[in-house]
Chains A and B, each alone.
Chain A
Amino acid sequence: QRFRFCGDLDCPDWVLAEISTLAKISSVKLKLICAQVLRDLLGEAIEYDKILKLTSDAKLESGDVKATIAVLGFILSSAAKHNVDSESLSSELQQLGLPKAEHASGLCRSYEEKQSPLQDRLRACSLRLSQLGSVRWRVDYTLSSSELQEVNEPVVHLTFNVRDRECDKMTAVPVTLSANKFWVLLA
């Protein structure tokens, strides 16, 4: 069976298995855990102790807690990735066996609030090889040189600051152009 939030593919087996674990947690606590998982997906620090406290009632083992975080992370990020609206997400989660009344609707409400910021964050994390940080320039006027006594030519110095996505370092690439070459670049 195809699900939109899985990108029109079958739902992974491990997600199906963990839906029953989600149903064990009360819906109020599930919404709070969702909020924590959303914080993690948006790049803020996740507060694992709070999640442990919230799941202690449902008597989940540590493996189950991690599985809960993983399955919530998958559902929320996958739904944002495929631009699924919260109604469709709710109906698909119910098809998978998540009880409607509170669990599915609570989850989808949290998702709906944070859908745009989540998609913005995913867009920012997309593969990008390098990024132009800034450009600095300077125009000099050469009066004379060792080769020719009267040169009288303008010269353009450019420095491109390139940020490497991987190591987050800025590299400076200096370029020097004569006036004619600079016109060619601009043309």
Chain B
Amino acid sequence: MLLVLSAEHRAHLGCLPRAGGAAFGELGRLALEQLRRGAAPRACESAARQLNIGIDIIQHGVEGLVYLLTESSKLMISEVDFQDSINVLGFSDELNKSLLQLYLDNRKEIRSILGELAPRLPSYHSLEWRLDVQLASRSLRQQIKPAVTMKLHLNQNEDQTAQVLQTDPATLLHLIQQLEQALGEMKMNHCRRIVRNMK
């Protein structure tokens, strides 16, 4: 599958051959840092001063590289396809090889970073529980009413929320039975077949 590069993208990447071989290593490093930690304008400034190139060109180059790497990693394109896609840019062979190397070296890491960007549902953090027995209330004395109180702690994107639930033991047993049935589904033939095919 070939990557289609827009005209603007091509213009941004067009600054790479002007920057030269040594600068390319620096730009590659800046692009990866931007993927890991977000944009760092100060790093771009110092790189621009060091390599004696305009800061705009550096920033465009870094952004162009970032986009190229994320799109290629996202689609998991093969080496051949990557080479064909960047041939369009008309770079030197050496630059093409360096780009390919940069892509192959960092593909796995970029994919794991992209994987973490997907939206998440609240996930389980911990559960506190308590078993009480109500002996009397204002309206009725001499009762025996057991109740289980639970506090479910959930994590959602670094936010911690807690949900308080209360139930009687019979409902709790029913809940446990339903959850065990759900787990039991995994052992049925249908699920087993799909899991086997996914592996």
CB within 8 Å of B: which residues of A? 126-129, 166
Contacts and interface: CB of A to CB of B under 8 A. Distances in A.
Contacts of A129: 149, 151, 164
Contacts of A128: 130
Contacts of A166: 162
B150 to A, nearest CB: 8
Interface of B: 128-130, 149-151, 162, 164
A127 B130 contact: yes
Given A126-B128, A127-B149, A129-B149, 9 more contacts: A126-B130, A127-B128, A127-B129, A127-B130, A127-B150, A127-B151, A128-B130, A129-B151, A166-B162
A127 to B, nearest CB: 4
13 contacts: A126-B128, A126-B130, A127-B128, A127-B129, A127-B130, A127-B149, A127-B150, A127-B151, A128-B130, A129-B149, A129-B151, A129-B164, A166-B162
B159 to A, nearest CB: 13
By CB atoms of chain B within 10 A, which of A126, A127, A128, A166 has the most? A127
A187 to B, nearest CB: 10
Nearest to A126: B130
A128 B149 CA distance: 9
Closest 6 CB pairs of A and B: A127-B130, A127-B128, A127-B151, A166-B162, A126-B130, A129-B164
Contacts of B162: 166
A166 B130 CA distance: 16
A126 B162 CA distance: 15
A166 B125 CA distance: 15
Contacts of A126: 128, 130
A166 B162 CA distance: 9
A126 B128 CA distance: 8
Contacts of B128: 126-127
Contacts of B150: 127
Contacts of B129: 127
B13 to A, nearest CB: 44
